[in-house]
Amino acid sequence: MHRKVVAIDGPAGAGKTTVARALAARLGYAYLPSGAFYRALAWRALETGTPLDDEQALARLADASAIDIRVDGGQCRARVDARDVSDALGSSDVSDAASRISVFPEVRCRMVRLQRQMAEREPVVAEGRDMASVVFPAAEHKFFLDASAGERARRRARDLQERGEAADEAALAREIADRDERDSSREAAPLRQVAGAMRVDTTGMTVEEVVERLLQLVERRP
């Protein structure tokens, strides 16, 4: 792959999405939200009643679904079979379902293919759980964003409240812990900080501070 890639990994709530979007804008790169691909498939699985524990059924659903993720003007738009489902992807049900289906190798294989196709078209800032470890192992710049569990739960609660959804911070903290366990222990592409990736703890940092930190590291490492 000859395009430039900045790969950002980390657990849920570490600030990857907001930081990656802002960093992409500063660099003039496209923003690649890897989680949107899984959430789009998860939405389709929930809509069709496809069992979330049936790997082969999910793989067939992925093959039969046209998933198109685009970022325009800083906004992520997701279409499944030409239907815009962007507003539905942020719900707790879809987010939880995406985490559950992402453990399957057959699902990940198909989503990775879509993500690489996007990066073949233009330079990207890609964020997710396995951007540096699996999807773009040859990325020019690799980062692992992290934050305390309490901070991550607070951020998730704030995001839900801004969308008008109820948010139980204690329940969210438990969900985040469960998701961390699934992401870190799954057989296919577990969440981990790869060699060569710079860890940045975003606890107590503003988005602007994190973006400036990453920009400094990108400019320092040609």
- What's the rounded mean pLDDT across residues 21-33? 93
Q: Considering its fold, how many domains does the chain have in total?
A: 1
- Going across the sheet that includes 83-84, the strands are 67-72, 75-80, 83-84
In a domain, 222, yes or no: no
In a domain, 133, yes or no: yes
For 155-181, the pLDDT digits (tens) are 888 888 887 888 888 888 888 888 878
Q: How confident is the model at residue 2 (pLDDT cuts 50, 70, 90)?
A: very low
Mean of per-residue pLDDT scores for the chain: 90
The domain that holds 23 is classified in CATH as 3.40.50.300
Report yes or no: 124 and 31 within 8 Å, Cβ to Cβ: yes
In a domain, 52, yes or no: yes
Q: How confident is the model at residue 3 (pLDDT cuts 50, 70, 90)?
A: low
CA-based nearest residue to 214, from 47, 82, 11, 21: 21
Residue 53: the pLDDT is 97
- What's the rounded mean pLDDT across residues 192-215? 92
pLDDT over 90, % of the chain: 60
Residue 90: the pLDDT is 85
Residue 182: the pLDDT is 79
pLDDT over 70, % of the chain: 97
Residue 89's identity, in one-letter code, is L
Residue 117: the pLDDT is 92
**Residue spans of alpha helices (H) in the chain:** 16-27, 34-48, 55-64, 92-101, 105-121, 149-162, 169-185, 207-220
Q: Print the domain residue range for 56.
A: 5-217
